[in-house]
Amino acid sequence: MRIGWKLALVGLLLLLLLVPLLMLGGLVSERQERGREVAAEIARATAGEQALVGPLLLVEAEHRTQHRRVVNRDGHMSQETEETVQPFHYLVAPERLDVQGSLRTERRGRSLFSVPVFHASQALRGHFRHAPPPVDAGGLRPRRAWLVLGLGDNRGVRRISVAVGGRTVPVEPGARV
């Protein structure tokens, strides 16, 4: 057999072997895409990344100031006092904060694919001391205070309990500021 025919036959065999190789490459990329879809689907069914901010004490207060001014009424000079009330909020960080927690993983899957899901249990214990507000304390009147805790994704929270002075107090979700 001539060398030309041999080279043509080898080239034809190479082309024939490329077909299953390309099909296999398509299958691999299809499975990778399905794996990403499964991971996104499981992430949507559970909570996303968690970022915990706090606990902080949010204090609602008002600052009262009095301003005196001299006014001229019909040629008579008199002093008037005007009071202004400026509402504001300020945050107080805990003086001491103890954090205890545990973390465990669970594998959740769909068909061929599985994704790790993390479960954390946290216990925060803090002590707040009344901190000075960010303004001159003269005329300051604190009105209300809230214990605030910022979470990255509320879907991941199963149970929250708060005890103040050994007494359990109700917890309400929501943003007040």
Q: How confident is the model at residue 136, as a pLDDT?
A: 60
Q: Are residues 58 and 126 in the same domain?
A: yes
Q: How confident is the model at residue 177, as a pLDDT?
A: 44
Q: What's the half-sphere exposure (Cβ side, CA atoms, 13 Å) at 141?
A: 10
Contacts of 39 (CB under 8 A, 6+ apart): 113, 115
Does residue 175 belong to any structural domain of this protein? no
Does residue 92 belong to any structural domain of this protein? yes
177 residues of the chain, pLDDT tens digit each = 688 888 888 888 998 888 888 888 888 898 889 888 888 888 788 877 778 887 888 888 887 787 888 777 777 887 888 888 888 888 888 889 888 988 888 888 788 888 888 888 888 888 887 666 665 656 677 778 888 888 777 777 777 888 877 888 887 776 554
Which domain does 59 fall in, by range?
52-169
Q: Are the C-beta atoms of 100 and 86 separated by less than 8 Å?
A: no
Does residue 56 belong to any structural domain of this protein? yes
- Indicate the number of domains in the chain: 2
Q: Are residues 6 and 81 in the same domain?
A: no
Does residue 176 belong to any structural domain of this protein? no
Q: Are residues 65 and 114 in the same domain?
A: yes
Q: Are residues 38 and 114 in the same domain?
A: no
Backbone φ and ψ for 9, nearest 5 degrees, come out as -65, -40
Q: Are the C-beta atoms of 57 and 129 separated by less than 8 Å?
A: no
Q: How confident is the model at residue 137, as a pLDDT?
A: 59
pTM: 0.58
Token pair belonging to 39 = 């991971």
Q: Cα-atom radius of gyration of the chain, to the nearest Å?
A: 34
Q: Are residues 18 and 102 in the same domain?
A: no
Q: How confident is the model at residue 95, as a pLDDT?
A: 87
What are the beta bridge partners of residue 167?
164
Contacts of 116 (CB under 8 A, 6+ apart): 105, 106, 107
Q: Are residues 104 and 148 in the same domain?
A: yes
Alpha helices in the chain (DSSP H): 3-45
Q: How confident is the model at residue 175, as a pLDDT?
A: 53
State the burial class of residue 164 (Cβ atoms within 10 Å of its Cβ: 0-12, 13-18, 19+): exposed
Q: Are residues 14 and 58 in the same domain?
A: no
